[in-house]
Amino acid sequence: MIYLDNAATTAPDEAAVARAQTFLKENFYNPSAIYGGGFSVHSALKGAREGLISRIADPAKFELIFTSGGTESDNQAIFSGARRGNAVTTGGEHAAVFESFTELKNRGVEPRFAPVLRDGRVDKEALLALVDEKTALVSVVHVNNETGAVNDIFALARAVKAKNPRTLFHSDGVQAFGKLPVRLTGDIDLYSVSAHKIGGLKGTGALFKRKNLNLLPFIYGGGQESGLRSGTENVFGAMTFAYAAEKKFATLSADGRRLLKLRERLWELLDKDIFVRISPEDGTPYILATSAVGMRGEVLVRMLWERGVVAGTGSACSSRHRFSRVLAACGYDEKTMDGALRWSFSPATTEEDVERAAEIANDVAATFKGNL
């Protein structure tokens, strides 16, 4: 099987899972327990937390809350950060952010949506125009999960702060963490990440938070995660996340360079009579969004699956809706959206993988086209 749906989820990193096994077996203690066993688990978790922070931020300036995943991190950031006035986001967001913004309306906060450019990046000027003295929060996705376009969140955050220093800046970094070189600056207040996009486990994520920033608790209870997210910690998940990140960050630049070549190789081999390209060239090396215009992407996905190639149509979380909200915001027509096919890579992806995938994709799409 050739797995090219890594933006949906990655296979768990076996070495990371093996290393974390001890927290399922002998070190199963509750990290809040006051005896030796509990303390050792507590210490391990602390190590994992610090390790993860240091990957992309200065531990003196940032904290990290373990969560159940990217969606929870986004929810926590948005509902904690936007409690009055208005909040600004983009039309290119993942549903975890977009739907939370829609909900803000019911909570007395005015949501504002900035338009995106053709490639999925936000229109910077339009975004800034929406920010005013009443803007509580701005949220901009770091890497667009459907097109792979990268927003320059650092420049955006700086510009937002220049316009209103009290506005919080959040970014959904789920498709960026462990894939792009990132260093969180002081302009970024909140940053969401997920474990299962980099070899960790589903059900684990984290929210980076600038120190001294007050958030509301998201789950009330025993006061874990500095009182912001109560509940006995998912120790095994958090440890696997930290170990997977350790491995992923060690080869981050080399992986990026290699996958950029593979991404372009795949594009080169795909039949241009059938496929059009959606992803920008300066987007993440990990995603190549294409469209078999006039065909049904979901049917192609199933045909590919039968031939041993796994790809996606876009955001897995929204694959129940016929057309992608994000691609519609980019201005694509229905036929292009209908045919959307997203290829996404991991460091495990090989050149043979993409060559074989392209061959099968061309064949399957030609068959489909012939049947139309």
Catalytic residues: 317
Which letter does DSSP use for residue 273 in this model? T
Q: Please report whether residue 1 would count as binding another protein according to CB under 8 A.
A: no
CB 276 to another protein: min, Å: 19
Q: Rounded to an integer, what is the distance from CA 259 to the centroid of its chain? A: 17
Sheet order of strands, 110-114 included: 62-67, 205-210, 190-194, 168-172, 135-139, 86-90, 110-114
Q: Cα(205)–Cα(190) distance, rounded to whole angstroms? A: 13
Residue type present at position 118: R
Tell which one of 177, 299, 315, 365 touches another protein (CB under 8 A): 299
Of 214 and 371, CB closest to another protein: 371
Tell which one of 99, 264, 271, 298 touches another protein (CB under 8 A): 298
Q: Cα(236)–Cα(216) distance, rounded to whole angstroms? A: 26
Of 184 and 301, CB closest to another protein: 301
For the record, the structure tokens of 223 come out as 């006061």
Tell which one of 46, 211, 257, 302 touches another protein (CB under 8 A): 302
Beta-bridged to residue 275, according to DSSP, are: 292
Of 299 and 366, CB closest to another protein: 299
Tell which one of 303, 330, 341, 354 touches another protein (CB under 8 A): 303
Q: Cα(289)–Cα(154) distance, rounded to whole angstroms? A: 24
CB 339 to another protein: min, Å: 12
CB 296 to another protein: min, Å: 6
Of 164 and 319, CB closest to another protein: 319
Show the beta-strand stretches assigned E in 25-125: 62-67, 86-90, 110-114
Tell which one of 163, 247, 296, 369 touches another protein (CB under 8 A): 296
Q: Cα(353)–Cα(48) distance, rounded to whole angstroms? A: 33
Q: Please report whether residue 334 would count as binding another protein according to CB under 8 A.
A: no
CB 368 to another protein: min, Å: 9
CB 174 to another protein: min, Å: 25
Full DSSP string of 114-145 = E-B-TTS-B-HHHHHHH--TTEEEEE--SB-T
Q: Please report whether residue 305 would count as binding another protein according to CB under 8 A.
A: yes
Full DSSP string of 41-87 = HHHHHHHHHHHHHHHHS-TTTEEEEEESSHHHHHHHHHHHH--SSEE
Q: Are strands 309-310 and 287-292 parallel, antiparallel or unpaired?
A: unpaired
Tell which one of 1, 34, 60, 372 touches another protein (CB under 8 A): 372
Tell me the site size for another protein, rule CB under 8 A.
Answer: 11
CA angle 175, 176, 182 (to 5 degrees): 170
Q: Please report whether residue 335 would count as binding another protein according to CB under 8 A.
A: no
Q: Rounded to an integer, what is the distance from CA 45 to the centroid of its chain? A: 23
Q: Which stretch binds another protein (CB under 8 A): 145-153, 161-169, 207-215, 293-301?
A: 293-301
Of 163 and 307, CB closest to another protein: 307
CB 73 to another protein: min, Å: 28
Of 106 and 371, CB closest to another protein: 371
CB 311 to another protein: min, Å: 13
Contact positions vs another protein (CB under 8 A)? 296, 298-299, 302-303, 305-306, 320, 370-372
